[in-house]
């Protein structure tokens, strides 16, 4: 019975994860270009820059995240709940939405440059942020600060404040108590958060491609360039193998650090250690940090929808001013084939494609995830042994997965590369581990005595499932489905390699508009990104609502 639960998911994983990875490895080994000096130089350069930008991004994220974690863990202030929720939203936003948001705020047609041009009477944008290393670092901080806030903040909130007080009574000053008591207890959590941030920055693709450009080639971007622009699959295979090995090493290191975190921060949780600022220094700390967080998290998300409904002179090719008017032109243009081309795919069709792909992803993820989550709800030794295998796709980048699909399914007997169904299959591979993790706790929480009572009253097994199991797991199922839906809507890495020109998705359409000149293209990119941001944000709040409601069981 256990193997029946696992068989569909393992078969799916074998065909659409392990088989593409084996084909990548085989292509590299069979090609003389795999270990050629030129290939190794490309790999060394891209790996060096990937590590460098990931390290810088991690340090900047800690610089913002650690004070923010202390703020949320130790202080109460007006608007705290809302601000904390806003810091979590960027982590789930698609990369193309983030790129569009920073473009709307800091780009040549963005609010900051338009404001300065208007105030200083300038003809050209005075600030160039996009397509620089600074834009990459800023976007990574935007994305990953919430990790530090959650991991370190939760650990800090569980520490018993009386430990610090005891150190002060024994003669230590505030800094000595921090370095000798608080920091050693927080150190595993800080290192775990830093490693997780580094891992996400190391595998970053969309942010670097859209905000940095091809001149900033990380391993992920180089795989994309070598695959689509250079048609050099052996070099792309070499880069993919390096990326997988590095990611696996970082993931193992993170798992070990996480185990230490759980042990060392398990202090008293029931003490109320939050307080309102009373001193002038405390008020300045809160005001300064809240201002930084609002500027970092709120302004890019606010600039995007405002720019999508603002008609500026710059959009008509005239001198840029801040004289704006409300317009729905960019949204209306999403439905229009202005050039009358037979090969033109209107943006609204990209939205329909994304919704169809997301629907297929939800269906496949739930179909494959339910049997596995049911087995893991009461795991045997076999279940515990198989569980890590299904989590392996989390360690592979979406770009590597897309490359594997191209290599594995581009020739007989599995010549499926022209099929649009490869896109939702890749999305399912990405979403499946999260769906299983969402369903498993709900299935494990079902009391066996409820089932036995229903059976004693004459209910059939199917009726027991409907009346007992389904009622309890409904909210968790809806949250898992919503998660798979939002992941599919915003996925860009694998989709950028697999989506056919006739079947674009919302992220690929946004990338196309941002890559083309002209105010109309820019406005349509803002409009589509706003729609995607709205759909993703709604999905995030649905997941959070279902998660909290399910806790009632």
H-helix or E-strand spanning residue 30: helix 19-30
How far, in Å, CA of 465 to CA of 454, rounded? 10
Q: Which helix (H) or strand (E) holds 88?
A: helix 80-92
Residue 216: its pLDDT value, please? 82
| pLDDT top residue among 183 and 401 | 401
Minimum mean pLDDT range among 47-51, 138-142, 161-165: 161-165
**Distances in whole angstroms, Cα of residue 410 to Cα of each of 326, 417, 418, 422:** 48, 5, 8, 11
> How far is 477 from 515, CA to CA, in rounded Å?
38
Say what percent of the chain tops pLDDT 90.
9
DSSP label at residue 396: S
Tens-place pLDDT, residues 326-362: 777 788 877 776 655 544 567 778 888 888 999 999 9
> Is 1-30+340-553 a CATH 1.10.3720.10 domain?
yes
- Higher pLDDT residue, 392 or 325? 392
The string of pLDDT tens digits covering residues 198-233 is 988 888 888 888 888 777 888 888 888 888 777 788
Of 124-133, 418-427, 502-511, minimum mean pLDDT range: 124-133
Confirm whether 1-30+340-553 and 34-327 share one CATH topology: yes
| Residue 45: CB atoms within 10 Å | 13
d(CA 416, CA 241): 23
Which of 59-68, 416-425, 427-436, 543-552 shows the lowest per-residue confidence on average (mean pLDDT)? Answer: 543-552
Summary mean pLDDT of the chain: 79
- Statement: residue 303 has pLDDT above 80: yes
Sort 17 into a burial class: Cβ within 10 Å, 0-12 / 13-18 / 19+. Answer: buried
pLDDT band for position 269 (cuts 50, 70, 90): very low
For residues 225 and 395, is the Cβ–Cβ distance under 8 A?
Answer: no
Non-local CB neighbours of 417 within 8 Å, separated by 6+ positions: 405, 406, 409, 410
Residue where the block lists tokens 């739930």: 366
Instruction: Kindly report the pTM of this predicted structure.
Output: 0.79
Q: Are 189 and 151 in contact (CB under 8 A)?
A: yes
Confirm if 113 and 125 have CB atoms less than 8 A apart: yes
| Chain segment 151-201, per-residue pLDDT in tens | 888 777 777 666 666 655 656 556 666 666 667 777 788 888 888 899 888
* Three-state SS at 415: coil
The pLDDT value given to residue 248: 78
Task: Name the percent of the chain lying above pLDDT 70.
Answer: 84
216: left (phi over 0), alpha (psi -120 to 50) or beta: beta
CATH 1.10.3720.10 is right for the domain spanning 34-327: yes
Q: What is the 3-state secondary structure (H, E, C) of 293-321?
A: HHHHHHHHHHHHHHHHCEECHHHHCCCCC
Q: Where along the chain do its domains lie?
A: 1-30+340-553, 34-327
- Rounded CA-CA distance 245/224 in Å is 18
**By mean pLDDT, which of 39-53, 201-215, 533-547 is the weakest?**
533-547
By residue count, the chain amounts to 553
Is the peptide bond preceding residue 217 cis, with omega within 30 degrees of 0? Answer: no
Please report the pLDDT score of residue 253 as a whole number. Answer: 77
Q: What is the Cα–Cα distance from 17 to 15, expressed in whole angstroms?
A: 6
């Amino acid at each position: 019975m256990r193997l029946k639960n696992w068989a569909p998911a393992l078969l799916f994983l074998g065909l659409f994860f392990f088989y593409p990875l084996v084909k990548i490895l085989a292509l590299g080994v069979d090609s003389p270009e795999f270990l050629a000096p030129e290939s190794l130089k490309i790999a060394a350069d891209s790996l060096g820059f990937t590590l460098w930008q990931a390290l810088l991004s991690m340090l900047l994220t800690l610089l913002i995240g650690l004070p923010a974690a202390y703020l949320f863990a130790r202080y109460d202030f007006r608007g705290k709940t809302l601000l904390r929720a806003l810091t979590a939203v960027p982590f789930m936003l698609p990369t193309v939405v983030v790129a569009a948001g920073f473009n709307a705020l800091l780009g040549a047609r963005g609010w900051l440059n338009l404001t300065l041009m208007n105030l200083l009477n300038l003809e050209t944008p005075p600030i160039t942020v996009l397509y620089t290393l600074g834009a990459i670092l800023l976007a990574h901080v935007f994305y990953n600060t919430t990790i530090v806030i959650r991991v370190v903040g939760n650990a800090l909130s569980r520490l018993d404040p009386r430990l610090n007080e005891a150190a002060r009574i024994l003669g230590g000053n505030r800094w000595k108590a921090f370095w000798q008591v608080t920091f050693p207890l927080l150190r595993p959590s800080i290192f775990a958060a830093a490693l997780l941030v580094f891992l996400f920055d190391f595998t970053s693709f969309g942010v670097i491609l859209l905000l940095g450009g091809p001149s900033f080639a990380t391993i992920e971007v180089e795989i994309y360039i070598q695959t689509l622009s250079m048609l050099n699959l052996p070099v792309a295979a070499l880069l993919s193998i390096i990326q997988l090995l590095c990611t696996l090493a970082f993931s193992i290191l993170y798992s070990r650090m996480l185990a230490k975190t759980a042990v060392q921060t398990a202090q008293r949780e029931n003490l109320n250690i939050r307080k309102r600022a009373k001193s002038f220094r405390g008020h300045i700390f809160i005001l300064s940090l809240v201002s930084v967080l609002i500027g970092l998290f709120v302004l890019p998300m606010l600039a995007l929808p405002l720019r999508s409904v603002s008609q500026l002179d710059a959009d008509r090719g005239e001198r840029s001013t801040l004289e704006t008017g409300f317009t729905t032109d960019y949204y209306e243009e999403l439905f229009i084939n202005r050039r009358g081309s037979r090969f033109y795919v209107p943006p609204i069709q990209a939205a329909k494609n994304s919704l169809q792909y997301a629907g297929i992803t939800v269906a496949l993820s739930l179909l494959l995830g339910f049997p596995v989550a049911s087995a893991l709800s009461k795991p045997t030794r076999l279940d515990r042994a198989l569980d890590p295998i299904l989590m392996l796709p989390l360690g592979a980048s979406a770009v590597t997965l897309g490359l594997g699909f191209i290599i594995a399914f581009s020739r007989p007997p599995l010549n499926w590369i022209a099929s649009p169904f490869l896109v939702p299959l890749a999305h399912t591979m990405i979403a499946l581990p999260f769906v299983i993790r969402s369903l498993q706790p709900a299935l494990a929480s079902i009391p066996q005595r409820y089932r036995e009572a229903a059976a004693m009253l004459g209910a059939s097994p199917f009726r027991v499932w409907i009346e007992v199991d389904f009622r309890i797991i409904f909210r968790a199922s809806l949250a898992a489905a919503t998660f798979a839906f939002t992941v599919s809507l915003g996925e860009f890495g694998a989709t950028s390699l697999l989506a056919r020109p006739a079947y674009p998705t919302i992220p690929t359409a946004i990338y196309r508009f941002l890559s083309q000149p002209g105010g109309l293209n820019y406005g349509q990119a803002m409009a589509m990104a706003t729609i995607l941001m709205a759909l993703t944000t709604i999905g995030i709040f649905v997941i959070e609502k279902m998660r909290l409601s399910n806790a009632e069981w």
